[in-house]
């Protein structure tokens, strides 16, 4: 009976997709908990260490700056089945093993993704470009090794708009913080989280609407 039971168990395990057989580890530090999972057997231990270390460096800083009430427990999952770069939902960040293999230097993908957890906008009244622009602005401000990843804010091109999202929007936000009014992006982020955001907030905070700010930006790009 024991042999049959063991063989049956092994047969059942064999039928489980490899993507379900994920190694798990839980790390706790300074009031935060990271549950790390991976179904990628070839994951470089040094890269895993860097992913974990980056979380514990940037997440507390992002929480302090933007949302002290953010989740205290976060999950990371390096997934062989995921074909994007990374995605975040419900306190869990899924990283593509393919991307991590090809771009191990891109450690601040962690910074961008955990900023989404800190943002916690829910069914926000704000546009998607704004959410992603703020996340990349947070990466620009708090990233641990953007230079190592050769990740920079792009030079302005004629076809650019503040609605382009990600790094293009992030550079515009960095300019606003430097040249117009510090604290603007933090205030906008807070309004998105409490669902009070309206486009008029930009004029209230800076004296100009987004279009006027963008026009000024295109005339003086220095950060």
Q: What is the largest CA-CA distance in the chain?
A: 81
pTM, rounded to two decimals: 0.88
pLDDT band at 220 (very low <50, low <70, confident <90, very high): confident
CA 126 → CA 42, 72, 160, 177, distances in Å? 40, 25, 20, 20
pLDDT by residue (tens digit) across 51-72?
999 999 999 999 999 999 999 9
pLDDT of residue 9: 38
pLDDT by residue (tens digit) across 168-214?
999 999 999 999 999 999 999 999 999 999 999 999 999 999 999 99
Domains of the chain, residue spans: 18-120, 123-223
Residue 36: enclosing H or E segment and its boundaries?
strand 32-38
Architecture of 18-120 per CATH? Answer: Orthogonal Bundle (1.10)
């Amino acid at each position: 009976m024991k042999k049959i039971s063991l063989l049956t168990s092994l047969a059942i395990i064999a039928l489980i997709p490899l993507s379900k057989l994920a190694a798990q580890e839980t790390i706790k530090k300074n009031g935060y908990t990271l549950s790390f999972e991976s179904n990628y057997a070839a994951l470089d231990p040094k890269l895993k260490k860097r992913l974990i270390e980056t979380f514990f460096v940037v997440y507390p800083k992002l929480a302090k700056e933007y949302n002290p009430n953010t989740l205290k427990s976060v999950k990371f999952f390096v997934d062989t089945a995921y074909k994007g770069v990374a995605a975040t939902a419900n306190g869990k960040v899924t990283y593509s093993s393919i991307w991590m293999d090809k771009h191990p230097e891109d450690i601040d993908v962690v910074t961008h993704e955990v900023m989404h957890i800190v943002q916690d906008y829910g069914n926000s009244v704000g546009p998607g470009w704004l959410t992603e622009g703020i996340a990349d602005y947070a990466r620009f401000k708090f990233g641990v090794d953007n230079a190592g990843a050769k990740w920079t804010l792009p030079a302005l091109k004629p076809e650019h708009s503040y609605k382009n999202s990600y790094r293009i929007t992030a550079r515009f936000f960095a300019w606003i913080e430097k040249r117009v009014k510090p604290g603007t992006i933090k205030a906008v982020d807070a309004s998105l989280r409490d669902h009070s955001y309206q486009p008029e907030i930009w004029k209230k905070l800076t004296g100009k609407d987004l279009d006027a700010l963008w026009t000024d930006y295109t005339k003086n790009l220095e950060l």
